[in-house]
Amino acid sequence: MCGIIAAAGALDLTAAVAALDHRGPDAAATVQEGGVTLGHTRLAIQDPTARADQPYRDGPVCLVYNGELFNQNDITDRVEDAAPGRTWATSGDTEVVAAALNVLGPETALPLLDGMYGLAWTDARRPGILHVARDRHGEVPLHVHQAAPLLVASELKAFRALGRRCGPAVVDVPAGQWWELSTAGSIRRHLHHQLTAAPNPTLTRDTAARELRGALARGVFRRLVADVPVCALLSGGLDSAAIVAELVRHRPGLTCYTARLDPRSRDLRCAREAAETLGVTLVEVDVAPPTADDLTHALAVIEQPRKAQVEITWPCLALAARMHADGFKVTYSGEGSDELWASYGYAYRGLAEAGWYGYRRHLVAAQAVRNFPRVNKAFMAHSVEARLPFLDPELVTLALSMPRHVVRDADTPAGRKAVLSAAYADRLPASITRRPKVGFQDGLGLKPLISRTLPDPARYYRAEHHRLYG
């Protein structure tokens, strides 16, 4: 995971690269190619040697890459089939992505990539074009500033460092899209992946639970690739506990982190019980009650004014800081699971209007501008990459195919993740598998503290976001 900044033109990006230093403290560089400028800050996770630094050239392609590839061997094989005799200069995934774009072309390469990423690259065969692409679910943020010259960046802070205000001039590259930004100021959009939800009425609760556990196990395994130490979040909820249950099969002695605000909270008790059951080390990170300035800082980190996202960010920053201090660069989190099962309390109305399959697909897609960039920016504020196993393509396809009666016992909070509970009933304590959905900030005891600090939090966040980024 890294930080990228690029311009569809010749521009000094030094200040913007410096503004993204927290995303990549291990190396930084800029380059101009074919009238386009690329900048990069590197958090070295795969092949941490200098040979894999960026911008990375593969023939006519020059790439800056923010993310991780989880099917590297498959892509390597496709490139070698298309270019017999190909040799590799690194053991990392950056070279593989650059080679795929070069040899296969983006039309073929991008739909094949199983990963979390934001990409920006040039191709000498098409000078004057800045290509950008975002992963299929929008796990990694990628923003475009539409004023000339066109800019793309991992965070809005890079635009501000160049003296650009944001507001309506900035749009996100949607999940699953590839854009061509020209030095003349035009934008051409392409779709490389579209999220679908195809019902599978033959599934039963038992078969779905078995398939779900297998899919999560494979999704976690694919996301183990790293040449640096990894850790995990363990909040006391079912999602993070299921991920840890799979991680410990491959990472004995795993260290997990949980936030502690109210020492009597049920979340903390459940996290301790899960850690004891799974045999992992649990680090409890104290979270201070936030001041208004603290919440402004959280908002500045994630660059969005949504109430839930800002408030979840505050404890996540404390967790990320502790992970970084302990020497970890990669963690695992349960984002995406709630959307797959429509387990939020507000889902009733949406389900009634859009239907079981359509609404869950909408929920997952909507997180490309909500949960997914929030978790990415919060942890990357302290140079920690957060991986989301519930967004494994195989698992997402399976989950969105499940009928309502398979996922839920009934329209009650306790039944909303029944299929996931059934999948891990033999691995996790009943206190976790039978818990109803509880929001992270609710379980932590954060909401009442914030309401005493800010009489109207939502209004405060909107005003602060406008002041900082509007």
Q: Residue 253 pLDDT more than 90?
A: yes
What are the structure tokens assigned to 64, written together? 């800056």
Q: Residue 116 pLDDT more than 90?
A: yes
Mark whether 118 and 185 lie in a shared domain: yes
Q: What is the pLDDT of residues 317-349, one digit of tens each?
A: 999 999 999 999 999 999 999 999 998 878 888
Query: Mean pLDDT across the stretch 228-253?
Result: 97
Where residue 226 sits, what CATH number does that domain have? 3.40.50.620
Identify the domain containing residue 319 by its residue range.
205-462
Q: Residue 438 pLDDT more than 80?
A: no
Residue 387 lies in a domain: yes
The pLDDT of residue 412: 55
Q: What is the pLDDT of residues 11-46, one digit of tens each?
A: 999 999 999 999 999 999 999 999 999 999 999 999
Mark whether 138 and 273 lie in a shared domain: no
Q: Residue 190 pLDDT more than 50?
A: yes
DSSP state, 174? P
Mark whether 133 and 210 lie in a shared domain: no
The pLDDT of residue 411: 55
Domain boundary residue, one of 138, 158, 191: 191
Residue 147 lies in a domain: yes
Residue 469 lies in a domain: no
Mark whether 187 and 245 lie in a shared domain: no
Residue 199 lies in a domain: no
Query: Mean pLDDT across the stretch 126-153?
Result: 97
Where residue 84 sits, what CATH number does that domain have? 3.60.20.10
Mark whether 117 and 219 lie in a shared domain: no
Mean pLDDT of the residues in the chain: 95
Distance of CA 61 to the CA centre of its chain: 26
Residue 110 lies in a domain: yes
The pLDDT of residue 414: 43
Mark whether 107 and 252 lie in a shared domain: no
Order of strands across the sheet that contains 129-134: 56-58, 61-69, 115-123, 129-134, 177-182, 187-191
Mark whether 157 and 266 lie in a shared domain: no
Mark whether 165 and 240 lie in a shared domain: no
What's the CA gap between 370 and 382, in Å, rounded? Answer: 20
Q: Residue 248 pLDDT more than 90?
A: yes
Name the band, by pLDDT with cuts 50, 70 and 90, for residue 257.
Answer: very high
Cα torsion 365, 231, 324, 49: sign: negative
Residue 467 lies in a domain: no
The pLDDT of residue 135: 98
Half-sphere exposure (Cβ direction) of 291: Cα atoms closer than 13 Å: 2
Mark whether 183 and 236 lie in a shared domain: no
Residue 197 lies in a domain: no
Mark whether 445 and 321 lie in a shared domain: yes
The pLDDT of residue 445: 81
Query: pTM for the whole thing?
Result: 0.96
Mark whether 184 and 39 lie in a shared domain: yes
Query: Mean pLDDT across the stretch 375-384?
Result: 98
Closest C-alpha among 205, 241, 202 to residue 415: 205
Domain boundary residue, one of 191, 226, 254: 191
Query: Mean pLDDT across the stretch 446-466?
Result: 94
As for how many domains the chain has, the answer is 2
Mark whether 267 and 394 lie in a shared domain: yes
Q: What is the pLDDT of residues 266-312, one digit of tens each?
A: 999 999 999 999 999 999 999 999 999 999 999 999 999 999 999 99
Residue 355 lies in a domain: yes
What are the structure tokens assigned to 213, written together? 């556990």
Domain boundary residue, one of 142, 160, 191: 191
